[in-house]
A and B are shown apart, each in its own frame.
Chain A
Amino acid sequence: MTDKVYCAGLQCGKETDSGLKCPICLKNGITQVFCDETCYKNNYKSHKAIHYKSDDDHSPYDPFPKFKYAGGLRPHYPLTPKREVPADIEKPDWAANGLPISEQRNDRASAIPVYKKDEIKKIRKACMLGREVLDIAAAAIKPGITTDELDEIVHNETIKRNSYPSPLNYYNFPKSLCTSVNETICHGIPDKTVLKEGDIVNLDVSLYYDGFHADLNETYYVGENIDKEVINTVETARECLKTAIKQCKPGTTFQCLGDFIEKHATQNKTSVVRTYCGHGVGKFFHCQPSIPHYANNRTPGVMKPGMVFTIEPMINQGTWKDVTWPDDWTSTTQDGKVSAQFEHTLLVTEHGVEILTARNKKSAGGPRPRIK
């Protein structure tokens, strides 16, 4: 029996018996099958992200040379082809064509899910697996590794655990992990960017196991020689998450978390990103509640036992303002200064909160002392 073949079009993804391949990829030893010319055409702009710049230049290139980048970071294309997920792994509805239909429908119901015991058990398991995957990838961070290599580790470790990497093809996001380097706030796309001594990188891992999503991220130092302002930003972000978690218990409003986060960020001369927020997670990758990290927001809702959500403050060294690269994903600070983020999936319990994605003794990374 031959393996099932799926159309390489990010907006198709259907099983196909077509043998039609992209000739440019084939020439470079890559097999990318499309249902037909129409699928090829309709997905071409996303597909050609894996093409070299030219036949005789296989070096990484900047796909947006005219874009005025905020800082020193650049994308390094081509991307590697979409990584495959074995057919027997349960997939969320966007896996094939990118559209999270059930999530969009649920959005309209607008209520915070409250999970039952058996559901919580499954979410807890997914979160445990998510922690394992993140820790394995984090242990591999060192100067010289590319973000795509980190994506490969996360992808393989995720499917090894019978899970689907939630970011993969979510609204056509091309990879299984978000890697956000230095001035990147979030949603960085793993590519041929080489991490170097003094960088910071955030790995945002989400996976789908047995019908439930887990979501966690941490920011890691690359090497030993880190600028003191950068350490301050990373450590402040770590503390902001901790401070917010301390408030969580039945009866706490989601609104107030931003007040605590912004207070701590301001005390440490850093700022809070406003565009992106924490969210409900579990049966859906993203759902109610929305949890802004800035002060004086008006998000509705109070915590009650059985609610599961993330808190994921993004803390900037300079301005809180964000800009987005023309890839429509990578969000960076407007001034090019660094941004750091930490995220946990949390469960509200009868008397407090349980960190479902908590670190353990063996977890890579961890805090470093600030430099005076």
Chain B
Amino acid sequence: MSALKNYKYNEEEDGELPSLVTGSESNLNDILKKSHSDGGNLVTTAKVDRVNKQNDLIAESLHHENANKGKKIPVTIITGYLGSGKSTLLEKIALKGSDKKIAIIMNEFGDSSEIEKAMTIRNGNASYQEWLDLGNGCLCCSLKNVGVKAIEDMVERSPGMIDYILLETSGIADPAPIARMFWQDKGLNSSVYIDGVITVLDSEHVIKCLDDISPDAHWHGEKVAVSQQSTFTHHEHGNKNNLTIAHFQIAMADRIILNKFDKVHQDPHKVKLIESRIHNINSTAPIYKTQYGEVSIDHLLDLRAYDSFDAVDKYLTHHTKTLHDPRMSTLVLSFKQLHSHEEFDNFIKQFLQVILWKNFGVDDFKLQHWEIQRTKGLISYKNDDGKTVSKIIQGVRDTFDIFDSEPTTSDCKLVLIGKYLDQKTIEGLLHKIINP
């Protein structure tokens, strides 16, 4: 829940706080005589300075509107349960990426009770703090989340001071809403972009975490079970339909760190089981087996996971049907190049919108329980002049976008990661839309 602005009295700015009066004090007149009007100082000088600095920089950019805008700063989201080694990994990346000035935003982002937050900027071993100004806690009728806006503001105020942002979520966070906040369309002209989501798992406990779906499941004192929505009517399965936060964290991952691997590496059976459980949920994220978060940062940073398809294709693994767990899984649809722009249009309007927007006005599948967390695709079609056009599709939950890609003649591929994906229904719909 987002919080309210801090209106607390501050002695330095507000002077001595007068004592409240009942109004019937015998010496009321004396008291009132000593109470002086103190309007002004509603915000700190530091805050006004921050706003001024930022506005100056915006003004400057207006003068060369067409000139090269400051480069956008990548944001990598790091997620995983408490104790999985998230913080250690963060520390390792900050040290290894010492050629980069890395800003680290810790914990509970987007769920903060503090309205003003500091963040640390690291350059190897050197570090300093910057303030994030979260405004009034509300950007009503605004497209930007307050936290994202605060980070953008900070980046804009500090040109050249930050090369990369690592954002560590709380252990119990579903990374999808956070990823979506940072995944903004071009029109919003953000100074940051989401590069990818890294999920850190504790090898020793991951299976147990995925299996513990009792409604009151906890991990280090935090509730991790995600119960099925009330719309789900098939109660005969009981808790078996529940999911854990770990399912969501794995589903959203672009990279998976199987940490504390030393604890399991001598048990090949368990290793295989862990790998297939993860692959079943997310077949597109490569898994790195690590100890103390030791992994090359080349595997983790600068992925461009939200505007390309290369990585997806490269790592796409095919899970075995035997292990198929419908609660959270990857569905890969492969089909031949589409015949025309019109067919592509139908694919978007009559297939993609239909499966992604069931709560957004398209209710052909309103009663289906599926919920797609992540969509990635590469779709090609023949243009009117016979040339091949290829488009990348990226999506988080109900929001998706289509980007141009280098034309490729390979088959179309659409990857859906989500819960209760009904392969038959989804494939059936697709084949109604596209011609063989």
Residues of A with Cβ closer than 8 Å to B? Answer: 10-11, 19-24, 26-28, 34, 36-37, 40-49, 51-55, 61, 63-68, 70, 77-78, 97-99, 101, 104, 108, 110-112, 170-173, 186, 253, 258, 274-279, 285-286, 288-290, 292, 294-304, 307, 312, 319, 321, 323-329, 334-335
Number of A-B contacts (CB under 8 A): 227
- What CA separation (Å) do A188 and B43 show in the bound complex? 17
The one of A26, A67, A172 that contacts B7, using a Cβ cutoff of 8 Å: A172
- In the assembled complex, the Cα of A36 lies from the Cα of B19 at a distance in Å of 10
Q: Is the beta-carbon distance between A304 and B363 smaller than 8 angstroms?
A: yes
C-alpha gap A52/B58 in the complex (Å)? 33
**A53 contact from B1, B21, B37, B144, Cβ within 8 A:** B37
Contact of B4 among A99, A276, A298, A327 (CB under 8 A): A99
Instruction: Determine chain B's interface SS by DSSP, over half rule.
Output: loop
Q: Provided the pairs A20-B21, A23-B19, A26-B32 are in contact, do residues A319 and B62 lie with their beta carbons within 8 angstroms?
A: yes
Q: Does B189 contact A (CB under 8 A)?
A: yes
Bound-complex Cα distance A324 to B186 (A): 21
With A170-B138, A277-B142 as contacts: A24 and B36 at CB distance below 8 Å: yes
With a 10 A CB-CB cut-off, give which of B17, B51, B356 has the most chain A CB atoms. B51
| Residue ID in chain B nearest A57 by CB atoms | B37
In the assembly, what is the distance between CA of A167 and CA of B155, in Å? 31
Cβ of B215: which chain A residues have Cβ within 8 Å of it?
Answer: none
List the B side residues contacting A68 at CB < 8 Å. 52, 55-56
Contact: B20 with A23, CB < 8 Å? yes
Is B26 in contact with chain A by the CB < 8 A criterion? no
* B140-A27 in contact (CB<8A): no
Taking the nearest CB of chain A, how far is it from the CB of B400, in angstroms?
A: 7
Contact of A110 among B48, B138, B359 (CB under 8 A): B359
CB-CB < 8 A to B31: which residues of A? 23
Interface size classification for chain B: 35 or more
Give 12 A-B pairs besides A326-B47, A328-B135 with Cβ atoms closer than 8 angstroms. A23-B19, A28-B37, A41-B9, A45-B9, A170-B140, A275-B142, A277-B141, A298-B399, A307-B361, A323-B55, A326-B43, A335-B59
Bound Cα distance A42, B14 (Å): 13
User: Chain B 3-40, CB within 8 Å of chain A: the 1/0 string?
Assistant: 11111111000100111111110000001100111111
Query: Out of B22, B42, B62, which one reaches A64, CB within 8 Å?
Result: B42
Q: List residues of chain B with CB within 8 A of the CB of A171.
A: 4-5, 136-138, 140
A-B pairs, top 7 by smallest CB distance, nearest first, are A171-B138, A111-B359, A301-B360, A44-B9, A20-B20, A23-B35, A328-B136
| A34 in contact with B37 (CB, 8 Å) | no
- Contact A279 B141, beta carbon cutoff 8 Å: yes
B141–A37 contact, CB under 8 A? Answer: no
Q: With a CB–CB cut-off of 8 A, which chain A residues contact B367?
A: none
CB-defined contacts of B139 to chain A, threshold 8 Å: 275
Task: Give complex CA distance A335, B143 in Å.
Answer: 22
In the complex, what residues of B have CB within 8 A of residue A289's CB?
Answer: 360
A99 to B3, CA, bound (A): 8
Assess whether B5 is in contact with A328, with CB atoms less than 8 Å apart: yes
User: Do B360 and A292 have beta carbons less than 8 Å apart?
Assistant: no
Chain A residue nearest to B359 (CB atoms) is A111
Residues of A within 8 A of B36 (CB): 24, 54-55
In the complex, are the beta carbons of A52 and B360 less than 8 A apart?
A: no
Nearest CB of A to B421, in Å: 18
Task: Determine the chain B residues whose CB is within 8 A of the CB of A328 once the complex forms.
Answer: 5, 135-136
CA distance A6 to B42 in the complex (A): 23
